[in-house]
Amino acid sequence: MKKVKQAIADELLPWFSQNKRSMPWRSNRTPYRVWISELMLQQTRVDQATPYFQRFMKRFPSLKSLAAASQEEVLKQWEGLGYYSRARNLHKAAQIVAAEHKGRFPDTAEGLIQLPGIGNYTAAAIGSLAFNLDLAVLDGNVIRVLARLFAYTRDSRSSTAKAELQRYADDLLVKGDAGNFNEAMMELGATVCLPRNPQCAQCPLSRVCLGHESGRPTDYPVKAPKKKVPHIVVGAAVVTNAKGQVLVAQRRAEDMLGGLWEFPGGKQEPGETIQQCIERELKEELGIHAKTGSFLVTVKHAYSHFTMDMHTYFATIESGRPRPLHCQDFRWMAIPELRMLPYSKADLKIIEELETRCES
């Protein structure tokens, strides 16, 4: 441990100073900007998060502007990033900080963790980068670096391993320079200590790395095999009216993708055709009796815990008026207006298909 800690001070921090990538959140660093960037970077690559961060900062340049916005506005800016609970939580947290902390972020780990959506990792990131608190972060990149440095053999996804690796990070932390230490460790994992093709010849810590010494650095971190994710089949409807408008429904706040808008439908049950599935779902969700028509598109999409085929058909109402029975709200909208609302990536693909047909 002592040799590794010395190498971090002598080799890693100077390497980071010379090689760190230019990122928009590294300039004009404030607690607010650090918080937004760290939430966006969870489950999202830097190149994907960068344009979202820039657009988000333009629309919500301050915590006050974010707190004053509607959840729908926030979700629209987050549209396409996925893991939408992050957006809902940051909106709630902004409102709490504005109302209960006079617009100033708590400057302790304990205070930060009290805010919605902020766990140990995000608290350590904000605390170290914005307030120079001596807190070590542990994300996927840092786990990989630590597991290789110490040839760590436990399953890195287990709670036991994460707790132990957190202690390693805490022990290695450069006191008084936690922000640079954390960013250097994450940068090393993101650009050099890569999952499948580590660039050991370029690594400033290779001389103290047991994984490198073993000749098999990609054996670490050890991960138990992932369970096979289930596959579901979904039916969705583009319900139209005489005005050429389309019916969209808003997901309930407590549901997956809560607050987003969608083309109504749901999971196919055993023994149903897709058309029967769609007609049943429209009755259950909106209280309407509808008839499916022509096929529009099949959207294939993968979430973290399941994959999905969503078969989409046009439909018309035969009887009944829409009511929000199993949805939060509904709207009739012209096709050019649809993008005013926030949707999941899967539903955005349906909109793209509708727009293409309109153009042709």
73 included as an active-site residue: no
262 annotated among ligand-binding-site residues: yes
Could you report the per-residue pLDDT of 115-151, keeping only the tens digit for each?
999 999 999 999 999 999 999 999 999 999 999 999 9
72 is in an annotated binding site: no
Question: What is the crossing angle of helices 159-172 and 140-149, to 10°?
Answer: 80
Mean pLDDT of the chain: 95
Q: Is 285 labelled as part of a ligand binding site?
A: yes
* 331 in a known ligand binding site: no
Residue 221 within any structural domain of the chain: no
Residues 24-66 have pLDDT tens digits of 999 888 999 999 999 999 888 999 999 999 999 999 999 999 9
- Per-residue pLDDT at 348: 97
Which of 38, 183, 187, 281 is labelled catalytic? Answer: 38
- pLDDT confidence bin for 358, thresholds 50/70/90: confident
CATH of the domain at 291: 3.90.79.10
Residue 272 inside a domain? The answer is yes
pLDDT of 225 above 90: no
In-domain check, residue 95: yes
* Same domain, yes or no: 171 and 284: no
CA distance 131 to 105: 10
- Residue 132, in any domain of the structure: yes
pLDDT band for position 227 (cuts 50, 70, 90): confident
In this prediction, residue 189 carries a pLDDT of: 97
Domain count, the chain: 2
Inside any domain, residue 354: yes
**Does residue 146 lie within any of the structural domains?**
no
Residue 211, in any domain of the structure: no
The DSSP string of 69-137 is S-HHHHHHHHTTS--THHHHHHHHHHHHHHHHSTT----SHHHHHTSTT--HHHHHHHHHHHH------
Q: The domain that contains 177 carries what CATH number?
A: 1.10.340.30
Residue 360 has pLDDT above 80, yes or no: no
Residue 128 and residue 189 in one domain: yes
The reply to whether 226 falls in a domain is no
Q: What confidence tens digit (pLDDT) does each residue in 164-217 have?
A: 999 999 999 999 999 999 999 999 999 999 999 999 999 999 999 999 999 999
Please tell me whether residues 185 and 41 are part of one structural domain.
yes
Given a contact cutoff of 8 angstroms between Cβ atoms, the answer to whether 272 and 303 are in contact is: no
- Residues of the domain holding 88: 2-139+163-196
179 is in an annotated binding site: no
